Amino acid sequence: MNDSVLDSVQHYQAVAHAIHYIRANAKRQPTLKNIADAMGFSEYHLQRVFAAWAGVSAKRFLQYVTKARALEALRRSQDILSVSLDAGLSGPGRLHDLMVSCEAMSPGEIKTLGKGLEIGFGLANTPFGQALLGWTPRGICHLVFCDGDESVQAELLVSRWPESTLRRDDQAASLLSDRIFDKELERGKLHLVIRGTNFQIKVWEALLRVPSSRVVSYQQLATLAGVPSAQRAVGSALAANTVGYLIPCHRVIRSDGELGSFRWGVARKQAIQAWEACAGE
């Protein structure tokens, strides 16, 4: 892992702390000094960390973590999604602007629990904390964030593919993480191999059509997936996602602007959203 990504991990930890504080004190709209004091930082250091992490000032970043910004983003997404639907779901942001492609694992592969399949896996630092990555010769099949539970996450990967051959390679995982979280990722350079029910895959593929730096509601995503009355089932499909970030369940929020749940923590969800929004400016 290169030094810049390691620095970004440390910055994310500071950002996560700040987000927890902001959410807990949102009603009184804390100032930059309030946040810096709560974190034990000077205002200058807080500004420097945010600028290095997100590419914008702390004040600008904080605008992204407000409910008002979330509601505005939902309204903008409604226009984009309408265009996408009218165009046969081939509108803006389809498959991360073709940066990410995916295919479903075959029923045979799932039935045999990965027998004969070789899966590489390893731990790596990311801008949003440590993650466990898994990949096959055909593409990335696993990306989950860890919060001191690395062994538990590794056991879950093993339990999903008990008949496969798992080969640990943290160095390869680190190199893969660098590619995944490169803000200048080249088009078509990442391929996913996903495992799920037909319904889950339909939801995940619809989610891949949501442009980076945009958010959608559960209702909007259900409509994109062709199941407008299945909002609750859509939420369950998001909770079952084991390819975090690349299948961007962090882009789904409630219609009232609240963040809703996230498998890897609400602070991480909001941090990723803000990071993408800042990068898109």
CA distance 201 to 40: 44
Upper half-sphere CA count for residue 16 (Cβ side, 13 Å): 17
| Catalytic residue check, 249 | yes
Are 271 and 15 in contact, with CB atoms under 8 Å apart? yes
Q: How far is CA 160 from CA 108, 141, 164, in A?
A: 14, 11, 9
Contacts (Cβ under 8 Å, ≥6 apart) of 248 = 96, 207, 208, 210, 212
CB atoms within 10 A of CB 179: 12
Contacts (Cβ under 8 Å, ≥6 apart) of 240 = 196, 200
Catalytic entry in 141, 146, 249, 278: 249
Question: How many Å separate Cα 151 from the centre of its chain?
Answer: 21
Strand (E) or helix (H) holding 54 = helix 43-54
- Most distant pair of Cα atoms in the chain: their distance: 58
Q: For Cα atoms 82, 274, 99, give the angle at the middle one, nearest 5 degrees.
A: 60
Are 55 and 279 in contact, with CB atoms under 8 Å apart? yes
Contacts (Cβ under 8 Å, ≥6 apart) of 23 = 65, 266, 267, 270
Query: Which residues are marked as active site?
Result: 249
